[in-house]
Amino acid sequence: MEKPIYLSPPVYEDRIIIPNMQSGDVYENINKVVLDFETCVQTFLETKKQVVALNSGTSAIHLALILAGVQKGDLVLCQSMTFVACANPILYQGATPVFVDSEKNTWNMSPKFLKEAYFECCKKGKIPKAIIVTSLYGLSSNMEAILAFAKAKNIKVIEDSAEALGSTYCNRKLSTIGDYGILSFNLNKIVTTGGGGALVVNTLKEKEKAIFLATQAKEKLNYYQHTTLGYNYRMSHLNAALGIIQFNRLKDNLDKKALNFNFYNSLFTNIKGVSLHKEPNNDYSSNYWLNTVLINSSKAGGINKEDLYNAFAKANIESRPVWKPMHLQPIFEKADFYGNGVSSKLFQNGLCLPSGSNLTNDDRERIQKVIFELFKSS
């Protein structure tokens, strides 16, 4: 069997050199590496906002909810088409998620159903406290419409850009547009710290509070005292050191992701019934983290996403269904949902394709062969 082609594997340097921690004040040096990584992120985002390096994107969402004032019993409007790590922190706070369907062109939160969800919540006597909107597979939501509504209703927007480092909306880097921004540096991301994330906040005061909460809420005393519930969420210096190295190759990785998109865009141009997820207009610029397709079996000669998934698996090529919407997950079966089934259809017909920045021409030839042979039979 040929070597496996993975969906989005981590790509590391042949050698990783960690800065010397033995000279001078060890703790000061360790802290400096984390601060240097935060500067790397801030510089790339081209923002004056503050960056807090954390151990995961999930931690970042949780702290964003705390900073937004979300407490037990509150309602949080959340995109249904997303990863569960986006919704779980709502439960951590004892709050209740209210799920919102996707729009067809971006696959992200529908401004129409966002408004419907908000007003229905108000009719039931509770005003939602925050909105969590996700940029799926690197493509932004309609942030103009969502932010305009949120501002009118005085609701905080948590911008989940875990999959969207390098993507933009109206020439603004994602994670810098909402009240709080979230990034992930998990193993499968364009920049990986081996495991990690970041929270983007507006002020230094918010950053200091986030770091306080992320380091077990230890008071500034010469002994351990805690008056607030804290968490072990801060990024380690080793992860941060790896992240600094990774940022040196970010532009190259983004170029390779764009090359993958162009490959798939050309590949599916003349295949009926298959549509590639892409920017709807020039306001959007994706990092093409994962290339995804929708297969309309009635137009594709009866071929569906499972057929393509199985054909890839037979050739030792990894693919994956798109996210199963949160309102269809057993853990959230009692949660309210507002929409018309767009996200359910995306899950039924959508597939993520191999999109690693280490894809070779030989890999692309193997992928093309599987696709052509499958759809030739239709």
Encode pLDDT of 75-117 as tens digits.
Answer: 999 999 999 999 999 999 999 999 999 999 999 999 999 999 9
Over range 25-41, report the average pLDDT.
85
Q: How far apart are CA 58 and CA 271, in angstroms?
A: 38
Q: Which amino acid is at 303?
A: I
Over range 30-50, report the average pLDDT.
95
DSSP secondary structure letter of residue 8: S
Over range 241-263, report the average pLDDT.
95
DSSP β-bridge partners for residue 156: 130
Q: How wide is the angle at C-alpha 30 spanned by C-alphas 26 and 32, nearest 5°?
A: 115
Token readout for 308 is 């393509």
Pick the CATH number of 26-247 from 3.40.50.2300, 3.40.30.10, 3.10.20.30, 3.40.640.10: 3.40.640.10
Helix (H), strand (E) at residue 115:
helix 111-123
Over range 128-147, report the average pLDDT.
98
Q: Where in the chain is the domain with CATH 3.40.640.10?
A: 26-247
**What are the pLDDT digits (tens) for 148-198?**
999 999 999 999 999 999 999 999 999 999 999 999 999 999 999 999 999
Q: Which amino acid is at 314?
A: K
Per-residue exposure over 95-128, b if at least 16 CB sit within 10 Å of its own CB, e if not: bbbbbbbbbeebbbbbbebbbebbeebeeeeeeb
Half-sphere exposure of 358 (CA within 13 A, CB side): 13
Judge whether 112 and 141 are in contact, CB under 8 Å: no
Q: How wide is the angle at C-alpha 235 spanned by C-alphas 230 and 241, nearest 5°?
A: 165
Neighbouring C-beta atoms of residue 261, cutoff 10 Å: 21
pLDDT band at 3 (very low <50, low <70, confident <90, very high): very high
pLDDT band at 378 (very low <50, low <70, confident <90, very high): low
Q: Where in the chain is the domain with CATH 3.90.1150.10?
A: 250-376
Q: Which CATH code for domain 250-376? A: 3.90.1150.10
Mean of per-residue pLDDT scores for the chain: 95
The residue with tokens 């959230």 is 332
pLDDT band at 314 (very low <50, low <70, confident <90, very high): very high
The distance from CA 355 to its chain's CA centroid, rounded to whole angstroms, is 15
pLDDT at site 30: 81
Q: Is the pLDDT of residue 242 over 60?
A: yes
Q: Is the pLDDT of residue 338 over 90?
A: yes
